[in-house]
Amino acid sequence: AGSAATVAVQADHPGAVIAPAIYGQFAEHLGTQIYGGIWVGPDSPIPNIRGYRKDVVEALKNLHVPVVRWPGGCFADEYHWRDGIGPKDRRPVIVNTNWGGVEENNAFGTHEFMDFSELIGAGTYVNGNLGSGSVREMADWVAYMTADNHGTLVQERRANGRDKPWTLNWFAVGNEVWGCGGNMRADYYADLLRQTRVFLKPGAGQPTKFIAVGPSDDDTAWTETIMARAGKEIDALSMHYYDVASFNMVPKGTWAKKGSATEFGEAEWFASIFGAYQIGTYISHHSAIMDKYDPEKRVALVVDEWGTWHDPTPGSNPGFLQQQNTLRDAVVAAISLNIFHAHADRVRMANIAQMVNVLQAMILTDGPRMVLTPTYHVFDMYKGFQGATSLPVTVTGPDYSQGGRAVAAVSASAGRGTDGVIRLALTNVDPNKAAPVQVTLAGLKAGKVTGRILTAPAMNSDNTFDHPQTVVPAAFSDAKLSGDTVSVTLPAKSVVVLELK
Ligand code: AHR
CA of 405 to the centre of ligand 1 (A): 30
Q: Given ligand 1 and candidates 213, 240, 302, 305, which is best to mutate, with the most ligand atoms within 8 Å of its CB?
A: 305
Instruction: Read off the pLDDT of residues 202-215 as tens digits, 9 standing for 90 and up.
Output: 999 999 999 999 99
Percent of the chain with pLDDT over 90: 97
Which candidate in 176, 233, 268, 499 is catalytic? 176
Residue located nearest, by CA, to atom 5 of ligand 1: 73
Per-residue pLDDT at 64 exceeds 60? yes
Q: Which residues contact 41 (CB under 8 A, 6 or more apart)?
A: 48, 51, 107
Q: What is the pLDDT of residue 103?
A: 97
Q: Which atom of ligand 1 is nearest to the CA of 305?
A: 1
Per-residue pLDDT at 320 exceeds 90? yes
CA of 132 to the centre of ligand 1 (A): 16
Ligand 1 contact via 305 beta carbon (within 6 Å): yes
> Which ranges constitute the DSSP H helices of 179-311?
186-199, 220-230, 266-293
Q: What is the pLDDT of residue 2?
A: 53
Ligand 1 contact via 307 beta carbon (within 6 Å): no
Average pLDDT over residues 33-47: 98
Sorted by where each starts, the structural domains of the chain and their CATH numbers stand as 19-387 (3.20.20.80), 393-500 (2.60.40.1180)
Catalytic site residue 305? Answer: yes
CA of 448 to the centre of ligand 1 (A): 44
Between CA 31 and CA 478 the distance in angstroms is 42
Average pLDDT over residues 169-181: 98
Ligand 1 contact via 214 beta carbon (within 6 Å): no
Q: Which atom of ligand 1 is nearest to the CA of 176?
A: 8
Instruction: Read off the pLDDT of residues 114-169 as tens digits, 9 standing for 90 and up.
Output: 999 999 999 999 999 999 999 999 999 999 999 999 999 999 999 999 999 999 99
Q: Given ligand 1 and candidates 68, 70, 74, 127, which is best to mutate, with the most ligand atoms within 8 Å of its CB?
A: 74
Ligand 1 contact via 169 beta carbon (within 6 Å): no
Question: Which band of pLDDT confidence, cut at 50, 70 and 90, is reported for residue 446?
Answer: confident
Question: Which band of pLDDT confidence, cut at 50, 70 and 90, is reported for residue 442?
Answer: confident
CA of 73 to the centre of ligand 1 (A): 5
Per-residue pLDDT at 1 exceeds 80? no
Q: Which atom of ligand 1 is nearest to the CA of 28?
A: 6
CA of 269 to the centre of ligand 1 (A): 23
Catalytic site residue 156? Answer: no
Percent of the chain with pLDDT over 70: 100
CA of 274 to the centre of ligand 1 (A): 21
Q: Could you tell me how many residues make up the chain?
A: 501
Q: What is the pLDDT of residue 37?
A: 98
Ligand 1 contact via 72 beta carbon (within 6 Å): yes
Closest CA to 211 of 416, 351, 379: 351
pTM tops 0.95: yes
Instruction: Read off the pLDDT of residues 376-388 as tens digits, 9 standing for 90 and up.
Output: 999 999 999 999 9
Average pLDDT over residues 460-483: 97
- ipTM, two decimals: 0.99
Between CA 343 and CA 332 the distance in angstroms is 17
3-class SS of residue 4: coil
Cβ 352 vs Cβ 331: under 8 Å: no
C-alpha distance from residue 78 to each of 25, 74, 131, 182 (Å): 21, 7, 7, 10
